[in-house]
Amino acid sequence: MLGFLLLYVGVVLFLNGLWLSEKIEDREIVVINVVSGIVALLVALASIFGSDANEGSIRAGALTLLFATTYFWVAYNRLVPVNGNGLGWFSLFVSITVLPVAVRAFATATTTLDLWMGVNWVIWSVLWFMYFLLLAMQRPILRATAAVTLFAGIITGWIPGFLILDGFL
């Protein structure tokens, strides 16, 4: 399911980057965030509650729920008049939480994909931290955040998701 999930992480980050660059309207971006949130939620639930669930799959499911929550929250924020502070503070929590995941990925890596996932976790941590700075701290980094979001969508989701689904990784 990793390729499936990463493909949707890629598309939602790519489109959110375009949205932050003002290429997509606020209400239109809701669709891909809800769809990607549902995909991440279903993958997480299968990982946590599936018949072959174990410590590793439960950990993966818990981390995947952080993605699902982010996407649902972005969609929510586009539909109701809020300032985004809550999502910003949640993003700080996630940014800090996933740093040890990156360290573990590097420490236990045995394949190129394992190393790539370690890099992905670092990129995602930086991205969530940028959302914290943008939303909760009101730093003027919208353009930089848009660019990093686009980059992350391509490098951490779209490319590896496609390569895994196509059998190259």
pLDDT tens string 79-91: 999 999 999 999 9
The CATH H-level superfamily of 2-165 is: AmiS/UreI transporter (1.25.40.600)
For the entire predicted model, the pTM comes to 0.96
pLDDT one-digit tens code per residue, 55-99? 999 999 999 999 999 999 999 999 999 999 999 999 999 999 999
Number of helical (H) and strand (E) elements in the chain, helices listed first:
7, 0
Tokens representing 135? 């939303």
Distance CA 35, CA 28 (A): 12
User: Which helix (DSSP H) or strand (DSSP E) does residue 167 occupy?
Assistant: none
CB 44 within 8 A of CB 64: yes
Distance CA 23, CA 41 (A): 27
Distance CA 30, CA 75 (A): 5
Local confidence pLDDT in tens for the 169 residues of the chain: 999 999 999 999 999 999 999 999 999 999 999 999 999 999 999 999 999 999 999 999 999 999 999 999 999 999 999 999 999 999 999 999 999 999 999 999 999 999 999 999 999 999 999 999 999 999 999 999 999 999 999 999 999 999 999 999 8
Tokens representing 66? 């952080």
pLDDT at residue 169 in the model: 85
Distance CA 27, CA 44 (A): 26
